[in-house]
Amino acid sequence: MTLVIRDVREHELDSVLALNNAVGPRILALDATRLQWFYANASYFRIAEVDGVMAGFLIALRESANYSSPNFRWFRERYPEFIYIDRIVIAEPYRGLGLGRIFYCDVTSYAELRVPLLACEVFLEPRDDAA
């Protein structure tokens, strides 16, 4: 198995959109306009390729992003500098391989050179054990 974590390329956004929306209710659906906004505004937008196939992605934003998410705004009201993980998606055939852990290690390395805080939301009620 060959794994590559790298920045997404604009021509891959349709594949990212399909992967995001295939997950179902575990993550908010996106449309092409919103995904293009993430592409233009995310400080971290990387994909995982396994043997040349897109297996997942992670999107994270800096505190300066003009993002309307109430969870993002909660952090912005309390912290002057942070990177906020908005979403991580792993395609079904690649779950259980540790890709989520690898993404979190990569985004942590990215963030620790830039900001004092890495933030994300976690669904506790209702629990999302699959995520």
Print pLDDT tens along the chain (131 aa).
899 999 999 999 999 999 999 987 778 899 999 999 999 999 999 999 999 999 999 999 999 999 999 999 999 999 999 999 999 999 999 999 999 999 999 999 999 999 999 999 887 776 666 65
Structure tokens at 2: 């060959």
Domain that holds residue 15: 3-120
HSE-CB of 62 using CA atoms within 13 angstroms: 13
Cα separations in angstroms, 24 against 47, 60, 67, 101, 130: 19, 20, 22, 21, 12
Q: 129 in a domain, yes or no?
A: no
Tell me how many helices (H) and strands (E) the chain has. Answer: 4, 5
Q: How many domains does the chain have?
A: 1
Give the Cα separation of 80 and 88 in Å (integer): 24
Identify whether 127 is part of a domain: no
Q: For position 39, which CATH number holds?
A: 3.40.630.30
Q: What is the pLDDT of residue 131?
A: 53
